Amino acid sequence: MTTEPTTSATITTADAAGTWQLGDRTVNRIGLGAMRLGGMPWEAPRSRADALAVLRRAIELGVNHIDTAAFYFTPTRSSNELISTALQPYPEHLVITTKVGPSQSRDGEFEPMGRPEQLRSQVEENIRQLGLDQLDVVNLRWGTSMDKMEGSLADHLGALAELRDAGLLRNIGISNITADQLTEAITITPVVSVQNRYGLTDRDDDALLELCREHGIAFVPFFAVATSTWASPEGPDDTGEAEIAAVAEAHGATPAQVRLAWTLHRGPHVLAIPGTGNPAHLEQNIAAGGLRLTADEVAALDRIADAGA
């Protein structure tokens, strides 16, 4: 079931979701993930004009947090290049977050996790592609999905800390980690954000979300709307479809907007970075930041994951 959002003369802007202090920068809690801008590997290339329009419209609607990476590219599109082309000169308050660690070959295969001494070249590549002098936030992409890692978590974070001290980046985050790894990480360097896969029906990291709350660290879920992977599409997750649709209908919203709103309701430290290459979907995603669910609706949505556990 698909519910069309109610049209309104008033366009919701990103500040409706509230703000969070991401390191030394303040961002609206709903931002934009850049991975889907140019299309995914299994899709036909998206319109370049649409991708540029999405980025420019996002800024018009108050988005000041964009998440990207140098390894977000397809044979004909690069997210970093699209961002640079669309948005330079960058707005003063725009925060661009990048990721380092793995890399992607031109044929779409992920390369082994970079060694600690290779992180400088990855940081510099992001700086070059984005046309910046310094990166706002650099997330170390860790985790078991990137095999053949050389060096410990401490070695990699220490290398990033050295690059921060050298002025190449302002803040350090970490991605695809466990609660124990976060506990280790914060003994090595200040961590401003954690990016993990998480959503209404994908809640293995509830404990990690709470740990971030305790330490004042932003929790930034990816794939919060639909389950998917970089390598292949799994399609939208239809678990609890009827319950989600009922909440969506009550608000004149879409199921995707309800999923995003639920994510933001998980705590003031939770930031959303939904990705899209479609200008209409962008406006819907940002409008989700203004959707206020009732306590009963949140409880009903919580039970969807509980029932599937």
Mind telling me the catalytic residues? 72
Q: Minimal CA–CA distance to 176: which of 159, 153, 155?
A: 153
